[in-house]
Amino acid sequence: MRNAFRILAPAVCVLAVGLLDLLPADSQARAEPDELAQLGLPPDAGRDEVEAYCGACHSLKLVVQQGLSRADWEEVLVWMIEEQEMEPLEPVEHELVIDYLAKHVSVEVMRQKRKR
């Protein structure tokens, strides 16, 4: 019995590790960029920041359903910080987030989406 265990145990371990290895790789492939792109956040500079900061309190859907000008996004950020207890961003990150939103979640993009 003991000998059988000694032979089988490593085999079971290898199998288990093998399975664990497969699972995250698979779900990662599915969860990554495309899900965000489908939501309306295509890969570009600033997307990681938007995902991290703006998805922290609410769904990113709340963000992508807007479609605002740069000035309006600035106002949304000020509102988030002053009224919704968002931590102010470092200037560099603030710019990245605003640039990204103004470019990809803009009035024009919204108009294009409605046409489809």
Per CB under 6 A, 84 contacts ligand HEC: yes
Q: Of 26, 102, 24, nearest to 69 (Cα)? A: 102
Q: Which CB atom, from 14 or from 37, has the smaller least distance to ligand HEC? A: 37
Smallest distance, ligand HEC to C-beta of residue 69, A? 13
- Cβ(64)–Cβ(39) below 8 Å: yes
Binding-site member from 23, 38, 85, 115 for ligand HEC (CB under 6 A): 85
Lookup: tokens for 68: 């605002």
Per CB under 6 A, 96 contacts ligand HEC: no
From CA 21, how far away is CA 70, in angstroms rounded? 43
Binding-site member from 36, 41, 80, 96 for ligand HEC (CB under 6 A): 80
From CA 29, how far away is CA 62, in angstroms rounded? 25
Applying CB under 6 A, which residues contact ligand HEC? 53-54, 56-58, 62-63, 66, 76-77, 80, 84-86, 97
